[in-house]
Amino acid sequence: MFTLHVHMNRNRQRVLLGMSGGVDSSAAGYLLREQGYEVVGVTMKVWPQDCISRAEDKCCGPQAVADARSVAHALGIPHYVVDEADQFERVVIDYFASEYQAGRTPNPCVMCNEKLKFGNLWNKARVLGCDYIATGHYAIIEHVAATSSSHHRECGEGTASTYAVLRKGVDPRKDQSYFLFSLRQPQLRRALTPLGTMTKPQIREIAHSLGLKVADKMDSQEICFVPGNDYRAFLRSHLGDDEFHRGEIYDVAGNFLGEHDGIELFTIGQRKGLPGGSPHPRYVVDLDPATNRVIVGYADDLMVEEFEIDRVNWHSVAVNAYADCSASPLDEGERIEVRGIRFQNGEYLEPSSCHLPWEGRGDDIATRAENRVISFEATVKIRYNHPGTAATVTPLENDRARVRLHDPQRAVTPGQAAVIYDGDVVLGGGWICRREALVPA
């Protein structure tokens, strides 16, 4: 039972800060305090019991709790630990394993942000009377005040006095807006990310000036619950070898090359673990969960010109939701309606009077086909460390969209997120779907 009693001055807005024990969330606490917020620190205990001894230095480990508590004490803010291990197991780890079993490559950070950090944690924030949740993400969440009540009605904003725009952080090496694309308007409107306008060196300088012992703590480059970044070993311990889906390896011409011990052991673009005997490097170019086949090819076979994404989450700057702009296709029983799309009932939506970000700039960016589906030009990132590439995006029915890349990209991986940008503004994003099988069964 989560029971906390915090006595603070309610003349100021109160923020629940997620503290991972790293330098980023630590500096975020200081910045929020300097901006006049009352800050309450919280660290989520998310490690399952069988992970503790193997991940003590991760953000899911005991050392992280100790570091966060030490920083909170130095900043003079209260600090609490909340047990989210069961939810983390169900929402993040089970998703992680099941995606590999389905021949997809998961992105657990996106899921953790949406479902836990900006999801379940809000229940704790409300108990504490907090107005916002804050994290140490390098992204900008701009809280935009509406200019008039009529603008709200026209744009589907309901009675909210602000709406939120998600933007890239100013430090291009650290920008984490990609990981926040699936957040919905209610989550974004109550979120603060004070590091978005700063660079990593500036953050470390702040931590040094405060004498925080985490000032030089290294950033983790690994998935927090996967020791040594060895996801295969983690899957073996979590699933057991009997749950791996064994099958056969073929080349793109349909030639049988050998057998494999589990489709879970492969990802698109992988070279290791493949049969030899080829004069040129070979890569995994497709995974077929229906037949448990691993398809291999050469570098050219990894290039993709077009793909689709599903479970698309359009942001308020890119949608007109007539019922509630805060709705999301990820919420059961709710949906957002992208203007101009024909839905299953065959009806069209009337164009909104609100300008979409790619409209009205005199450069003919937006095009409308006869069926009134809008295609628009944008920049799309197909993975977190991808620089982004120009693409034409076409919203489709059933919360999907088609992405046509102007320049073919290597290793477009099913299960990863494709995030759509207009400059530094996040328009939305979705999950990359598997293409039609390269080798028929």
**Beta strand extents in 37-134 (DSSP E only):** 38-45, 79-83, 132-134
Using CA atoms, how far residue 405 sits from 60, 242, 324, in Å, is: 37, 40, 31
Token match 């979409």: residue?
356
Helix (H, G, I), strand (E, B) or coil at 299: helix
- Known catalytic residue: 51? no
Q: What's the CA dihedral at 215, 118, 93, 400 to 10 degrees?
A: -120
Looking only at the bridges linking them, the beta strands covering 425-432 and 367-368 are unpaired
- Alpha-carbon span 236 to 198, nearest angstrom: 40
Task: Please give the C-alpha separations between residue 150 and each of 73, 143, 330, in angstroms, as whole numbers.
Answer: 47, 18, 28
Task: Choose among 413, 437, 414, 408: nearest CA to 294.
Answer: 437
- The residue annotated as part of the active site, out of 60, 109, 155, 224, is 224
130 in active site: no
Nearest to 381 by CA among 70, 168, 159, 141: 168
Catalogue the long-range contacts made by 352-359 (C-beta closer than 8 Å, 24 or more residues apart). 352/154, 352/155, 352/156, 352/320, 353/154, 354/151, 354/154, 354/155, 354/320, 356/317, 356/318, 357/317, 357/318, 357/422, 357/425, 357/427, 358/422
Q: Which residue out of 112, 130, 155, 325 is catalytically annotated?
A: 112
C-alpha dist (Å) from residue 233 to 52, 94, 245 = 16, 15, 15
Query: Which residues form the catalytic set?
Result: 112, 224
